[in-house]
A and B are shown apart, each in its own frame.
Chain A
Amino acid sequence: MFFRMLIESFVRRRSRKLLAVAAVWIGLSLVIGLLALGLDVGDKLNREMRSFGANIQLQPAEAAVDVRVGGYELVAPGRTVYLDEADLPRLKQIFWRNNILAFAPRLTTQARLAGRSVPLVGTWFNHHVLLEDADPFVTGAAEVFPYWQARGAWPMNPESCLVGAALAQELDLGPGDRVELTTDQRSTSVRIVGVLTSGKDEDEAIVAPLSVVQRLAGLPGKVAEVQISALTTPENKLAERYGRDPQSLTPAEYERWVCTPYPGSVAADIQNAVPGSSARVVRRVAETQGAVLGRIDGLMLLLGIFVLIASTLSIMGVLSSAVLERRGEVALLQAVGAHRADVLRLFLTEAVAIGLAGGVLAALTGQVLGGWLLRVIFDSASEPHGVLLILAPLLGLLIAVAASVPPVWRTVHQQAARLLRGV
């Protein structure tokens, strides 16, 4: 009889139940949509935040540590070590290759220009890194340092270069000018195609394609360091412990560390791939990203909670008024002998069914909504989240029960006689 009542209640009062299911559905869709967005937003923002610059720096192993013993450098002065440019394609062959978003080598020397000594920086511009089994990977300074601004054009051939904004002003140089660069080894004539603003020491330098600087410095095929922009996960307790003492991790923890793209684990992967290199996490950048991401996540959480509260209240409004409408029925059931628990069980089961139905629908539409938001905001696609498929029905169930039980509970304690009179 219990199930009969339940079924009849749904079948014969279809429109009421549909309204209740729709309330749960629509309200929760918003919440789930926001959550879906929140789950994706970290990844997307991480990509966006490359504008903070490189977060891993690759240097020759011996140059990375300034080992000084009693004031003497262990590496003899003048005998600087370099990395081989030919090894750099390996960065796109490592385990975390898809997390390597961009990289640019750097070689610096001093050159004479118009009778004075100026820093000469060599790097890649729109460089095609040839890969064995994939399309060439196009990268360079513009990708690694999105904050570099070139007024004019980027150098596209070995005869062109950029002049730092400060230097350009000092020497009154601009796009179109030809300059003669001279080093101890040789000299070359290049054309300035753009004025560079980087906000750093490049503003005082001539920035030219790497090959030009290699030739002028007499260091063919060599680079002094590589700036790498990698997609990483903000560091957590585990990464911190590894940073303090790698030995303190259990094998399982180590496994997890290796399989998570923490800045440290990506750096270690890179270092293993490039012979004679030492990869260093550029802490400031990595940490800023982590902090900003943490704040964004916090914001999404707050927003999610607000929307959840707002939706919950409106769902509860609809559901509890649907229950209050049936107070006469509650009194009647008690009049024919139902105990409070009997009445509660009936309404509770209905609430569970409504909550689950609305929640399942919301799980689907919420993901669609989240995907749409992601497309609008970040212009990228999202993948469905299994968590939400479970969370949404659960939330629906909780809200529906929370909305239905208190009014039923209050009703079963009221004077049934008064309710039967029609309130």
Chain B
Amino acid sequence: MNQSAVLLEYVTRAYPGGVRAVDGVNLKIALGEWVSLMGPSGSGKTTLLNLLDGLDRPTDGCVHVMGQNLLQLDVDEAATFRRENVGLIFQQFHLVSYLTAVENVMLAQYYHSMVDKQEALLALERVQLADRAHHLPSQLSGGEQQRVCIARALINDPKIILADEPTGNLDEDNADRVVKIFQRLHREGRTLVIATHDPDLGRLAQRIVCLRHGQIVEECSPDGSDAAPRATGAGASHDRDVMHVTAS
């Protein structure tokens, strides 16, 4: 169990009113594995990611992440767990509105350990945002905010990256850059769980986990875009070898 980054057992997240956004999910993700979460809108991807980062709790089942039973953590312990292990990339960016791009990155440093402005600026440079470092979120485009969010998620060298639609707002060039970052992180041995509608990004993972109505299904049904690649509920994806090649 210690080798797995994520271990979900019969995890259900039901909302009042009866919606089971995640419904009896069993999932094991190995350390260093790159997994894509795919599925149509409303299938429970965001909900599942929030169960992995401890911002939400399952109504049923067990959640272990990086060897930690998240159900045993209180609010503060979960925050500590996040800042020490998890890099979070939000679907809706979630930047502090009155802090500039670089200050938003420094915020994550602050709660993690120490503020280092040079390093924060470097992180923004890596996502091509050096010239926007001192802009407020309201002065940034959606794609730029997305990249600030990514820079913030990676600033503390997290062991596991939980990304929700990280390329959703990016043009091809920027999406490519982000993909390269993910590939580098994967090479460095980080675990990646990336929820996405983007088949190109999804395909890069070693494994694609498909969700529908909160349940893991064999086949990723097309969700309005190109046909999704074949998915497997568990085991290696056809990309694994490729990834190993890039990793070495």
Contact = CB atoms under 8 A, between A and B. Distances in A.
Pair from one complex: yes
Interface of A: 1-2, 4-5, 8-9, 11-13, 328-329, 331-342, 412-413, 415-418, 420-422
A264 to B, nearest CB: 64
A415 B97 CA distance: 21
Interface stretch (B23-31, B101-109, B178-186, B188-196): B101-109
Contacts of B103: 4-5, 8
Nearest to A342: B111
Contacts of A2: 110
A226 B125 CA distance: 95
B138 to A, nearest CB: 10
Given A5-B107, A328-B94, A335 B88 contact: yes
Given A336-B82, A338-B79, A340-B75, A12 B107 contact: no
Contacts of A412: 75
Given A8-B99, A416-B55, A420-B92, A336 B111 contact: yes
Return the 9 tightest CB-CB contacts between A and B, nearest first: A337-B83, A417-B56, A337-B111, A1-B110, A12-B98, A417-B50, A417-B55, A339-B76, A416-B55
Interface in B19-43: none
Most buried by B among A13, A333, A342, A420: A420
13 contacts: A1-B109, A1-B110, A1-B115, A12-B97, A13-B97, A333-B96, A333-B111, A337-B79, A337-B80, A339-B76, A412-B75, A413-B75, A420-B55
A331 B50 CA distance: 12
B175 interface: no
A335 B75 contact: no
B98 A335 contact: no
Contacts of A338: 79, 111
A420 B53 CA distance: 13
A219 to B, nearest CB: 88
A345 to B, nearest CB: 12
B164 to A, nearest CB: 10
Most chain A CB inside 10 Å of its own CB: which residue of B92, B94, B108, B109: B94
Given A4-B106, A12-B97, A335-B82, 8 more contacts: A13-B97, A333-B107, A334-B79, A415-B55, A415-B56, A415-B57, A420-B90, A420-B92
B230 interface: no
Interface residues of B, number: 34
B177 interface: no
B96 A329 contact: yes
A2 to B, nearest CB: 8
B112 interface: yes
Contacts of B152: 336
A2 B111 CA distance: 10
A328 B111 CA distance: 17
Interface of B: 46-47, 50, 53, 55-57, 75-76, 79-80, 82-84, 88, 90, 92, 94-99, 103, 106-112, 115, 136, 152
B60 to A, nearest CB: 16
A5 B109 CA distance: 13
A412 B109 CA distance: 20
Nearest to B115: A1
Nearest to B76: A339
Contact of A334 (B75, B84, B96, B108): B75
B108 A336 contact: yes
A5 B103 CA distance: 9
A327 B185 CA distance: 32
Contact of A339 (B56, B80, B108): B80
B79 to A, nearest CB: 5
B50, B80, B152 — which one has the most chain A CB atoms within 10 A of its CB?
B50
Contacts of A11: 98
Nearest to B51: A417
Interface core residue of A1, A12, A336, A338 (most chain B CB under 10 Å):
A336
A1 B113 CA distance: 11
Contacts of B83: 336-337
A172 B56 CA distance: 100
A13 B136 CA distance: 12
A338 B77 CA distance: 10
Contact of B53 (A13, A332, A335): A335
A420 B75 contact: no
A401 to B, nearest CB: 21
Given A5-B99, A8-B98, A335-B88, A340 B76 contact: yes
A420 B107 contact: no
A44 to B, nearest CB: 49
A9 B99 CA distance: 8
Contacts of B115: 1
A8 B106 CA distance: 13
A335 B112 CA distance: 12
B55 A337 contact: no
Contacts of B88: 335-336
Which of A13, A342, A416, A421 is the most central at the interface, judged by chain B CB atoms within 10 Å of its CB?
A416
Contacts of A420: 50, 55, 90, 92, 94
A256 B33 CA distance: 84
B233 to A, nearest CB: 25
A415 B50 CA distance: 10
Contacts of B94: 328, 332, 335, 420
Contacts of B84: 337
B50 A339 contact: no
Question: Which one of B88, B110, B152 has the highest number of Cβ atoms from chain A below 10 Å of its Cβ?
Answer: B110
